[in-house]
């Protein structure tokens, strides 16, 4: 949020399903196709709380959809 506020520029969020194939703190990765999706830009000038809420909502929605497409059931 600090960088977003200081630069006063739109932010382009990214959703991904990479966690399905490369879990946190794991050395070994699972085979599969990692997908990264560039989402619509969040306009500059939002308050920190509004920006973070919008950022989280967009990334979570995208990542959930990408995980479902990859066959994740959890």
- pLDDT of the residue at 4: 96
The domain limits of the chain are: 2-69
- pLDDT of the residue at 32: 86
Q: Are 18 and 36 in contact (CB under 8 A)?
A: yes
pLDDT tens-digit map of 12-53? 999 999 888 888 888 888 888 889 999 999 999 999 999 999
Would you give the DSSP letter of residue 17?
A: -
* Element of type H or E holding 34: none
Q: Which long-range contacts (CB under 8 A, 24 or more apart) does 58-61 make?
A: 58/13, 58/15, 59/13, 59/14, 59/15, 61/15
The SS3 of residue 21 is: coil
């Amino acid at each position: 949020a600090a960088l977003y506020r200081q630069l006063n520029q739109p932010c382009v969020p990214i959703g991904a399903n990479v966690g399905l194939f490369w879990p946190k703190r794991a050395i070994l990765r699972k085979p599969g196709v990692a997908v990264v999706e560039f989402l619509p830009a969040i306009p500059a000038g939002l308050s920190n709380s509004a920006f973070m809420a919008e950022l989280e909502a967009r990334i979570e929605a995208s990542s959930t959809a990408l995980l479902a497409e990859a066959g994740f059931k959890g």
